[in-house]
Amino acid sequence: MTTTPPEPDSEQDPNDLVPLPTTDALSDGDENELVEAAIVEASSFPLSKTGIAAWVLVGSVTLLMFSLVAYSQLFPEQEIGGDASPSELMTLQMQGKLIVGQEQLLALAEGPPTDTSQSLPEQFDSGSYEQRLCYAILKGELEGADAVNEQLIQLDKKVLENKDVLTLTEDQNKLRELIEKLNQEYSQGNLDSSDILPLTDRQLIESRLGWTGQLALLPKETPLTAQRDTLESEAITMLVLIFVIAIAGLFIGLASLISLIVLGIRFRKKKMQANFEIRFYNHNIYIETFALWMILFFGSSLGSSFLLAQFELDPANSLFVQLLIFFGSLICLVWPVFRGIPFSQVRQDIGWTCSHPFKEILSAIPTYLATLSLLLPGFLAMFILVALVSSFQESHEFGSPIAPGHPIQELIAEGGTKMILMIFLTACVAAPIVEETVFRGILYRHLRDVKSFSARWMSVLFAAVINALIFAAIHPQGIYGIPVLAMLAIGFSLAREWRGSLVSSMAMHAIHNTLVTCVSLVIL
């Protein structure tokens, strides 16, 4: 006998909730016909009215978030003047540590003296007033007191030339006086900064100029040998860490290439089977769920930012609130249950399953390594974008730097145990769990199912690319981050397709964020 599914209720969108009909009492032939009929019914209505509305919302929010960040990057309003933030001095601080560390290693090896006067690129003599002072201090470390005097004179001229747009703060004027006073005393042979400046002035230099400020207070041949040794040890440690990171990067690059080749061979030999199961139904409910997550997450983030600004909480507490928002946004998973899908089925649909946790986590390592190879074209595209945008942007010489980055870099630069802990919890725990659930779980489920009637490779490609573009577009890196983040997201989607479970992609995401955060902590 041939059985056809009932006509959909005219008052309900046909594909809002279309469970496959029960086939317990049917023969194999009848069961196949019934399933085929259900598939035809589902494919006839790829998007319901609510699904279309959800996509309009998702597209609008994505476009809005991306446009706001992209506009600020393409047409930045540079802040000229004012006290510099720690993040504005990060690059120069690291460069200074590398130069001083190189000098110390050569001295320990008793090698011939090298000319380090050319080791400090002139392009670092730009940006904020504090950065210019740091540049003068490093020139003095490399070339002597005369170089500091020359830099300060040039700096005074540039400030005078830009007097219409640049007004120095009280701290900046004070720093200028203190650096000049230190340099004069050092020229006369008094190398003990504690005899030259009171404690409050020394603390001002350290707090405003960071490691370079400490270098200004501890010149070569200072009688404060223990403190100078500690400073030099930091420089040597930075140099060694950068070398280790570079060597590790080479090995990781080689391992990435090998992993990509091995996985490719296994795929060609059909030893890697995709474990992602197509449902054919209920995909509209999952795009509704994703749209609801966007409303909850971004709405809560904007609201909390406004409230936190009123209470002026410290950044670490603000990150804790963001951590709560991350996990709290998963309340959106109540929606498919409300729409009639049992939570056990929701878990299956979004990949919250794991029969062999150790195996899933272990599979994340070669998959992540192979994904790193995909980042190469992403980085190339990013560098091209930076070059293109920089070619038409005009930046003021005392303005804040225009460069790709993430707001979390500012928080890392501020440091502090509590801050670092909150950064790790947010970036390495909350983000992998929540973002993989909503992007590779909820959104990928919808995209794969809605395109499941195409060839499998076409459906996977469609779902992975659309998923990746939305994922990259809503991140705060803006236009510069799109290529790299998109390629990374494609790797996560392929892991989801291969393993079926989200555990592997969550582990990949956590590995990546942990590596990036650790390297940032070392460098910044």
* Assigned token pair, 433: 């769990």
Task: Report the pLDDT value the prediction gives residue 15, as an integer from 0 to 100.
Answer: 43
User: What is the sign of the dihedral through the CA atoms of 386, 388, 394 and 397?
Assistant: positive
* Among 173, 158, 102, residue whose Cα is nearest residue 125: 158
- What are the Cα distances from residue 8, in Å, to 37, 48, 52, 90, 110? 13, 12, 19, 62, 86
CA 405 to chain centre: 8
Q: Percent of the chain beyond pLDDT 90?
A: 38
- Residue 407 pLDDT level (bands cut at 50, 70, 90): low
User: Is the model's pLDDT at 110 over the cut of 80?
Assistant: no
pLDDT digits (tens, 9 = 90+) for 381-400: 998 988 888 777 777 777 76
User: What is the sign of the dihedral through the CA atoms of 372, 412, 116 and 107?
Assistant: negative
Determine the Cα–Cα distance for residues 42 and 273; give it in Å rounded to an integer: 26
pLDDT digits (tens, 9 = 90+) for 16-75: 444 444 434 444 555 455 445 545 555 545 788 999 999 999 999 999 999 988 888 888
Task: Report the pLDDT value the prediction gives residue 12, as an integer from 0 to 100.
Answer: 43
- Residue 126 pLDDT level (bands cut at 50, 70, 90): confident
Q: Of residues 109 and 447, which shows the higher confidence score?
A: 447
| pTM of the predicted model as reported, rounded to 2 decimal places | 0.83
- What are the Cα distances from residue 6, in Å, to 3, 14, 50, 110, 292? 9, 11, 22, 89, 31
Kindly report which listed range (75-79, 378-382, 465-469) carries the lowest average pLDDT score: 75-79
Torsion of Cα atoms, 495 then 501 then 507 then 510, to 10°: 90
User: Is the model's pLDDT at 87 over the cut of 80?
Assistant: no
> What are φ and ψ of residue 287, in 5° steps?
-75, -30
pLDDT digits (tens, 9 = 90+) for 140-190: 888 888 888 889 999 999 989 888 888 888 999 999 999 999 988 888 888
- Residue 413 pLDDT level (bands cut at 50, 70, 90): low
Helix axes of 170-187 and 145-161: crossing angle, nearest 10 degrees: 150
Q: Which residues lie closer than 8 Å to 509 by C-beta, 6 or more apart?
A: 431, 432, 435, 436, 492
How is residue 45 annotated by DSSP? -
How is residue 426 annotated by DSSP? I
Task: Report the pLDDT value the prediction gives residue 404, as an integer from 0 to 100.
Answer: 64
Task: Report the pLDDT value the prediction gives residue 25, as an integer from 0 to 100.
Answer: 43
Task: Report the pLDDT value the prediction gives residue 280, as an integer from 0 to 100.
Answer: 73
User: What is the sign of the dihedral through the CA atoms of 338, 339, 340 and 346?
Assistant: negative
- Residue 113 pLDDT level (bands cut at 50, 70, 90): low
* Average pLDDT over all residues of the chain: 83
Taking a C-beta distance cutoff of 8 angstroms, is the pair 98, 217 a contact? Answer: no
Task: Report the pLDDT value the prediction gives residue 20, as an integer from 0 to 100.
Answer: 44
Map 10-31 to HEC letters: CCCCCCCCCCCCCCCCCCHHHH
Most confidently predicted of 10-19, 333-342, 406-415? 333-342
User: Is the model's pLDDT at 217 over the cut of 50?
Assistant: yes
Task: Tell me if residue 213 falls in helix, strand or coil.
Answer: helix
Task: Report the pLDDT value the prediction gives residue 36, as an integer from 0 to 100.
Answer: 54
- Residue 447 pLDDT level (bands cut at 50, 70, 90): very high
Determine the Cα–Cα distance for residues 92 and 120; give it in Å rounded to an integer: 9
Task: Give the burial string for 51-77 (b: 16+ CB within 10 Å, else e).
Answer: beebbebbeebbeebbeebbeebeeee
Taking a C-beta distance cutoff of 8 angstroms, is the pair 95, 120 a contact? Answer: yes
Q: Of residues 360 and 121, which shows the higher confidence score?
A: 360
* Region class of 136: left (phi > 0), else alpha (psi between -120 and 50), else beta: alpha
Task: Report the pLDDT value the prediction gives residue 14, as an integer from 0 to 100.
Answer: 42
- Residue 436 pLDDT level (bands cut at 50, 70, 90): very high
Task: Report the pLDDT value the prediction gives residue 277, as an integer from 0 to 100.
Answer: 86
Task: Report the pLDDT value the prediction gives residue 6, as an integer from 0 to 100.
Answer: 42
- What are the Cα distances from residue 318, in Å, to 306, 329, 407? 11, 16, 13
Map 324-351 to HEC letters: HHHHHHHHHHHHHHHCCCCHHHHHHHHC
Determine the Cα–Cα distance for residues 439 and 11; give it in Å rounded to an integer: 31
- Residue 4 pLDDT level (bands cut at 50, 70, 90): very low
Kindly report which listed range (59-68, 274-283, 333-342, 488-497) carries the lowest average pLDDT score: 274-283
Task: Report the pLDDT value the prediction gives residue 416, as an integer from 0 to 100.
Answer: 73
Q: How many CA atoms lie within 13 A of 319 on its CB side?
A: 21
Most confidently predicted of 113-117, 334-338, 514-518? 334-338
Determine the Cα–Cα distance for residues 138 and 198; give it in Å rounded to an integer: 22
User: What is the sign of the dihedral through the CA atoms of 294, 300, 301 and 303?
Assistant: positive
Task: Report the pLDDT value the prediction gives residue 477, as an integer from 0 to 100.
Answer: 85
Most confidently predicted of 16-20, 123-127, 200-204, 289-293? 289-293
Task: Report the pLDDT value the prediction gives residue 269, as an integer from 0 to 100.
Answer: 84
Task: Give the burial string for 224-263 (b: 16+ CB within 10 Å, else e).
Answer: beeebeebbebbbebbeebeeeeeeeeeeeeebeebbeeb
Determine the Cα–Cα distance for residues 29 and 173; give it in Å rounded to an integer: 88
- Residue 319 pLDDT level (bands cut at 50, 70, 90): confident
Taking a C-beta distance cutoff of 8 angstroms, is the pair 21, 5 a contact? Answer: yes
